[in-house]
Structure 1
């Protein structure tokens, strides 16, 4: 695949005293068609080089001409930016074969979900255009530190993405929720498909990530025909060169489906990543999902927001004493233009507490509460993103 446009990105130095640089990149193209689900891993994406601090990472879907694509045409279910290190001697083989088993070691965020679940450093979905990713000065996510990269390896980044082309679909909303009955899943689907726990999916699994596999097709309206098209992720990254004036942040993803258990002195996090809101014809109150999540290592809260899906009412993170640490509120679109699509979740609010004003203690048990409308929904998510600083700089530093 070729990069969108045959042009290299340019680095821009923003006109302020903080020496912030920015560049806009384009991912490799992906081909979509009416009703088609596209799930791709794009290795070795363009990314700023060197020992730097990332200040923001913003993503949207564009067409071949660079035009923003509205969610009702191509629904961006999610994009995740994942860090990995690659054995330099195997780089050519990995690039040619796309074999991710040998020569690559993934480096997840600081979150505690089991295995390699929710490993990314940045990532949202349809709400990407309307959710700020900016980190206040002098805070940043430190990457590219040569002292932390193993000999013979190189730090790289990949995109994990899911885009659902909903043009002409029989049920656009249900398609974006990956409802199994609306997709042409194979006849033996439930006999061969395993879930997060490694067990075969129950036939009660009505929808979610496992029914939105690459190249599956949402059912189309009778007689609908439409062209294929090539889309890309356009992403803008802002960063600074790392120096003594920067303050590093740790990044945690908390999940409202996390079922924490204690085995002796060992905590086990059993995150499900998604859940179904069952049909309910009698209760008017919203649907609430809660998880109590111990934080082995705390810090000062610098940024907080949530990755949710359409239908969310709000998401709140509470401290152990019941204090509100952050509430993230949805923004729904009212128009037709990209970024304001009527009825779609187009943004989540972000918390920027005054640095030093909210501290999470080591070992503190946080409560994450995600609230949705009480309507049947599959593939609902309740992921909360927080950036924590171990220390707050002196007062004479500007924010």
Structure 2
């Protein structure tokens, strides 16, 4: 399709206004009245749904959950409070918080038969492969998943938020050949996750409060991010009426991509490629050469055009972690700090507004916590589960919900007849 082939026409679109952000053109009657569709690869200019959960202003670096700035949530709440906010629209009272925590903790344990699923995977399987398959299989253990009452939807949402960390931790233990560690219902969300990851029989792990808080902050900052690829995948699958475990499994599969949830893994791979501080200037020159194909991972963002508000919070957290652990001499972290310093002072990156994003710092923090690179995206999935289930509930609660059915611009062969084989 070329510009020369494009034609102009006039059509009056109704305009819809949200409470914040740009207004949108209501295109729902476009095809019916004109016989045409819109063309928007990647849906970058298309509002696919109406939502009350998260608002982003990429130009101003604003991220709000239910109206609350992400900076305030990260500094003044924990992940469980943020998950409650995403699900129910308000921050919990002390009584609501205590009940929610108790119920969520009681949901952490997996059915013992699920242990058999892990034996079907190779020991070198990626944790995301195990997580994706096992989450989908949870639907076989709960006969109420197809119930349409709101109480059943809420129960499924709580089960997923509680059980995904347990599955992820078991996936990690399985790949390293260690026994599974059952969740501890007395521990807060992030401390329990670290406990399941790093404890061994006879040697329970007790997290340093600074490190537990760092992980909790990562989870809060990744809990939801509006209509991104994985959330859109959850909504797309959910629009068919599929069960919630299958929907979240679809989100996990979408998150696995290196351009989405795998970006922080790519940051660590980039550090390995650079090798040492002395190689940074030459590496950045290759980045500036568009023909080289070398990308600066962990900088810039498709939505945030100036700065990622989550990155600023993680930058401070990152330095707290390395100070607590005494890791200032770690070669990788030393390289990262030097790359950060050079890049944010370079006119090339300043002019293009390429600042460190959330992936740059989250990968470094997870590495400092001792979490292996293969688990980075699984940690992201644990965090994003709260957002996914919130969007799923919001969507299925909408009486006007329709099955998602994008259209296309067909550019293939026109209709033709099948010839006998000897005439082809």
TM-score class, shorter-chain normalisation, is under 0.3
Larger Rg: 2
TM (norm. structure 2) is: 0.26
Of Structure 1 and Structure 2, the greater helix share is in 2
TM (norm. structure 1) is: 0.27
Of Structure 1 and Structure 2, the greater strand share is in 1
